[in-house]
């Protein structure tokens, strides 16, 4: 008896819509990361991308707990001398809340080529309008 592994053509990907209004950023990110990885599917395999597509709406209504809104900073290094760039959470969230949600989810996925492939199945939008009605996404209620 051998272990069954799903082939790439056998993986049926579903589309889900998640409403982020009133949700805590970290809890939302961890639950969406599980869906993108495919851990919700019975055919989950660690070395295959068996995850589903996720559309997140109302990214501007996500909340944080504690003092994260005042103390959290995002950093990246450009690669040049003196190229450390920092941005406060408040400023980034006011400028582009979709980026804050994407960043939180991306940091919970594997740091590999497969993790980058999983991120392509994520779409985050401000407001309730999104261009994915043709895929007939199901509403996913997260706990």
Residue 17 near residue 140, CB atoms below 8 Å: yes
Q: Which domains does the chain have, with CATH numbers?
A: 22-139 (3.90.1180.10)
**Cα angle value 62/56/112 (rounded, 5°):** 100
What distances in angstroms separate CA 40 from CA 44, 45, 79, 92, one per listed residue?
7, 11, 38, 31
pLDDT in tens, 12-39: 999 999 999 999 999 999 999 999 999 9
Quote the pTM value. 0.93
pLDDT in tens, 50-65: 999 999 999 999 999 9
């Amino acid at each position: 008896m051998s272990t069954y592994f799903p082939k790439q053509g056998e993986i049926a990907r579903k589309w889900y819509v998640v409403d982020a209004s009133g949700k805590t950023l970290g809890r939302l990110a961890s639950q969406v990361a599980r869906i993108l990885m495919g851990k919700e599917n019975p055919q989950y395999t660690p070395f295959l991308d068996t995850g589903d597509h996720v559309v997140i709406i109302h990214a501007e209504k996500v909340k944080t707990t504690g003092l994260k809104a005042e103390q959290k900073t995002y950093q990246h290094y450009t690669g040049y001398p003196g190229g450390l760039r920092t941005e406060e959470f408040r400023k980034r969230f006011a400028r582009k809340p979709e980026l804050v949600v994407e960043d939180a989810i991306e940091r919970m996925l594997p740091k590999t080529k497969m993790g980058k492939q999983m991120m392509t199945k994520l779409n985050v939008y401000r407001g309730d309008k999104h261009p994915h009605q043709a895929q007939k996404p199901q509403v996913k209620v997260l706990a």
